């Protein structure tokens, strides 16, 4: 009498899977991963563009703020030295 090991019943349903289906499952998984990666990249693109825009705006605010302070100082010096504004 031949006895079967207890794990044979677990392996038997897995053996019914056709070998041709395995490459198809792998191909579908690869295509799905590529689609998800593309969606993630397209989702991150506007975020990165907005971060760049905010960085440029912050740099411009610093540069133009310094230029504005220098312009106000030059205007003050001109007002102090111009004889038309002396009393």
Can you give the pTM of this predicted structure?
0.49
Instruction: Report d(CA 20, CA 85) in Å as an integer.
Output: 94
pLDDT at 16: 60
CB 76 within 8 A of CB 70: no
At 15-57, the pLDDT tens digits run: 565 566 778 888 999 999 999 999 999 999 999 999 999 999 9
CA–CA gap between residue 1 and residue 12 (Å, rounded) = 20
Burial class (CB in 10 A: 0-12, 13-18, 19+), 66: exposed
């Amino acid at each position: 009498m031949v006895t079967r090991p207890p794990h044979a019943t677990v392996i038997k349903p897995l053996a019914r899977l056709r070998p041709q289906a395995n490459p198809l499952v792998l191909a579908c998984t690869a295509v799905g991963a590529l689609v998800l990666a593309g969606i993630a990249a397209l989702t991150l693109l506007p975020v990165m563009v907005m971060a760049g825009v905010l960085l440029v705006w912050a740099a411009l605010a610093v540069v133009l703020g310094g230029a504005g302070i220098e312009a106000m100082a030059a205007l003050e010096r001109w007002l102090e030295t111009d004889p038309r504004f002396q009393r």
